[in-house]
Amino acid sequence: MYDGAIQDLIDELGRLPGVGPKSAQRIAFHVLAADPADVTRLADALRTVKEKVRFCATCGNVAESDECRICADPRRSDDVICVVEEPKDVMAVERTREYRGRYHVLGGAIDPMNGVGPDDLRIRQLLTRLGDGKIEEVIIATDPNIEGEATATYLARMLSPLGITISRLASGLPVGGDLEYADEVTLGRAFEGRRTVS
Ligand code: ZN
């Protein structure tokens, strides 16, 4: 244990995802030794992201105004929605350049072990969007793991009475993983080879 400010920084860094106690200590001492201008830039970036970035009112993606860049883009097609768990998954799908429709970000996956149920996700907002009759297909692109599968099954059952084509990404994605870890080619193929589930 260190004293005061350096320990406070180590504690705060240690609360970040994927940062263990050793990394937290290493980063803290890096900051201590770094050029003051670099540290100011980092501090400014942290403050600015909280001030400026919010979640898109329509799809739940990150945005710097009411709507995200993708929802605001008139060139995207309005008849298909790709449902993902997190904003980082939107980026993963965008990198494939295979998809030109809209998105819906759930904000997680159904995970009863950690107390996350359907009501904790943006499923109600998805139903509202599907209510306008413009959407012809919903592509469920949740993560290829247990929670993602549970979420996909739930959504497929929930959406099937609406008479919209519901599809799932083709298998071939690394099982147990996260959508964002799939490379562009694999994810692009999974998109092209998606199968209709209802
Ligand atoms: Zn949006």
Q: How confident is the model at residue 14 (pLDDT cuts 50, 70, 90)?
A: very high
Spatial CB neighbours of 184, under 8 Å, sequence gap ≥ 6: 95, 96, 97
Please give the mean pLDDT across all residues of the chain.
92
b/e burial code for range 96-130 (CB count within 10 A of at least 16 → b): beebebbbbbbbbbbbeeeebeeeebbbebbeebb
Ligand 1 centre distance from Cα of residue 62 (Å): 7
Ligand 1 centre distance from Cα of residue 105 (Å): 8
Which tokens go with 47? 């403050």
Query: For residue 152, what pLDDT is reported?
Result: 94
Query: For residue 4, what pLDDT is reported?
Result: 93
Ligand 1 centre distance from Cα of residue 14 (Å): 31
Whether pLDDT at 22 is above 90: yes
SS3 assignment, position 43? helix
Residue 119 near residue 142 (C-beta atoms within 8 A): no
Cβ count within 10 A of residue 73: 11
- The label of the residue with tokens 């993963």 reads 92
Note the pLDDT tens digit of each residue in 34-62.
999 999 999 999 999 999 999 999 999 99
Ligand 1 centre distance from Cα of residue 143 (Å): 20
Look up the pTM and report it: 0.82
Ligand 1 centre distance from Cα of residue 165 (Å): 21
Ligand 1 centre distance from Cα of residue 67 (Å): 5
Ligand 1 centre distance from Cα of residue 58 (Å): 5
Cβ count within 10 A of residue 59: 25
Query: For residue 176, what pLDDT is reported?
Result: 67
Note the pLDDT tens digit of each residue in 99-130.
999 999 999 999 999 999 999 999 999 999 99
Residue 195 near residue 167 (C-beta atoms within 8 A): yes
Query: For residue 100, what pLDDT is reported?
Result: 94
- Distance (Å, whole) CA 6 – CA 41: 19
- Distance (Å, whole) CA 57 – CA 67: 6
Note the pLDDT tens digit of each residue in 125-170.
999 999 888 899 999 999 988 899 999 999 999 999 998 999 998 7
Q: What is the mean pLDDT of residues 2-24?
A: 94
Ligand 1 centre distance from Cα of residue 112 (Å): 27
Ligand 1 centre distance from Cα of residue 100 (Å): 13
Ligand 1 centre distance from Cα of residue 3 (Å): 44
Whether pLDDT at 83 is above 90: yes
Ligand 1 centre distance from Cα of residue 34 (Å): 37
Ligand 1 centre distance from Cα of residue 145 (Å): 25
DSSP string spanning 50-105? HHH-EE-TTT--EESSSS-TTTT-TTS-SSEEEEESSHHHHHHHHHHT---SEEEE
Ligand 1 centre distance from Cα of residue 26 (Å): 37
